[in-house]
Amino acid sequence: MALIPASREAVTIGKVIHATGYRNLPPDELVDLAIESQVARIVKRSLVGGDESFFIADLGQVIRQHRRWTQNMSGIRPYYAVKCNCDPTFLKVLAELGTGFDCASIEEMRAVLSLGVDPARILFANPCKAPAAIAFARQVGVFRTTFDNIDELDTIKAHMPEAQLLLRIYANDEGAFICLGEKFGAQLDTTEELLSRAWEIGLNVIGVSFHVGTGATNPASFCKGIKDARLAFSQAERLGFHPKILDIGGGFQDDCFESMAPIIREAIRSEFPVGITAIAEPGRFFARSVYTLVCRVISRRRQLGSAALSGVPDMLYQNDGIYGNFMNVIMEKEIMVPYLVKSKNARGYLQKSKPGDALQVKAHRYSIWGPTCDSTDCVVREVTLDSEVKVGDWLKYKNMGAYTSTTATQFNGFSNTYDTLYVNSETLPEY
């Protein structure tokens, strides 16, 4: 089934298709065009509207990332980690491209199943699950799941005795944005005992998984995980299990993907020469570059008095912050890079009415803050933009698809639902 109709229109909003004929534009220009059209729509709708930030998703970028994956990680099937971004349209494209899905909760399983995905394509990759979640998985036919402790085995035995289990072992890339090893993963000196317990109570272990941490940079951490997995495979085999699946988790990043992939593939080839199925759970790799976020400046503090004299940057307040789509500023120490949207419609709605208050086209330094009344809600400590920014202007942030909308809160009463406009800078393959 093709997601975008045969005419291959470039821009969709929700279910509305806007025919365009801009098919040959480069992806960035197509995204800018969509921003311009949404801004014009908001400005037309209401003089002071546009209270929420919005996303532009380039579905063509999903296809390009999938192509990169298959070219560099051939033979390693991706199970996209839904926690990273659960936008149904994005999930649907991935489903059509044939990926599997890593789900961590009932709602994530529901989201994937509602697209008509076969439950056999879902891995319930949460090693510490509530009994109700295990029972739900069984009811809908999701039998593959992970474990890393004795008690979890007992819960699984009680609620899904026919489970197909992957032992999650400890792995760690110390340079990762967020290390997961502190919370999950059996140490190698415990795996034998865990596997023996699984054997004793009649559970079936079909493989081993690990996750080196999200935002990993060191291929050696994957190599170590693969080597450790080999040991756990051998332990399982000695007990009588027939493990077949090696799951190398997530952690893949755009920047170092091509350099890390051959090292990982070679490690798998040398530790597991034959007879296994390798899978992975990438999240960030697929979602991050697909989404651009557009925020509106809702207030501004031009420094006066001593702050102005000592050069403190002027302050912009925008309609989205760290309690919304910018939690990565805190969690991953990400440095956000704003771009001023300069199309005609996008310049501030207040600025027109002030004669003599023409926009200054020269470099301005700003700090940028979210909308809440919390002073930790700082999105950018300092940035130099090439022209003045006024109330009502829009700021664009690229690469905002990973751990953004899925981690947004309603703190201080601000909404955490956002419009998404879809563009397609590629021709979707026929299925």
Contacts of 361 (CB under 8 A, 6+ apart): 386, 387, 388
37 vs 406 by CB, closer to ligand PLP: 406
Task: Report the alpha-carbon distance of residue 397 to residue 337 in Å, rounded.
Answer: 6
CB of residue 61 to ligand PLP, shortest distance in Å: 16
Shortest distance, position 101 Cβ to ligand PLP, whole Å: 11
Q: Crossing angle, helix 257-271 and helix 59-72, to 10 degrees?
A: 40
Q: How far is residue 326's CA from residue 332's CA, in Å, rounded to a whole number? A: 10
CA distance 192 to 340: 57
In terms of CB distance, is 241 or 252 closer to ligand PLP? 252
* Smallest distance, ligand PLP to C-beta of residue 298, A: 31
Q: Output the smallest distance, CB 254 to ligand PLP, in A.
A: 11
- Give the closest residue to 307 by CA, choosing from 383, 389, 365: 365
Of 219, 197, 195, 215, give the one whose Cα is nearest residue 205: 195
Q: Nearest distance from residue 295's CB to ligand PLP, in Å?
A: 23
Q: Is 421 helix (H, G, I), strand (E, B) or coil?
A: strand
Q: Footprint of ligand PLP on this chain (CB under 6 A)?
A: 81, 83-84, 102, 125, 180, 211, 214-215, 249-252, 281-285
162: Cβ contacts below 8 Å, ≥ 6 apart: 138, 143, 204
Spatial separation of the C-alpha atoms in residues 325 and 53, rounded to whole Å: 9
Q: How far is the CB of 333 from ligand PLP (least distance, A)?
A: 15
* Residue at 5: amino acid letter: P
Q: How far apart are CA 80 and CA 103, in angstroms?
A: 8
Show the tokens assigned to 301.
């503090």
Contact (Cβ atoms closer than 8 angstroms) between residue 162 and residue 204: yes
Half-sphere exposure (Cβ direction) of 400: Cα atoms closer than 13 Å: 31
Which residue is at the shortest CB distance from ligand PLP? 250
Q: Show the DSSP H helices in 240-326 as ranges.
A: 257-271, 284-287, 305-309
What residues act catalytically? Answer: 373
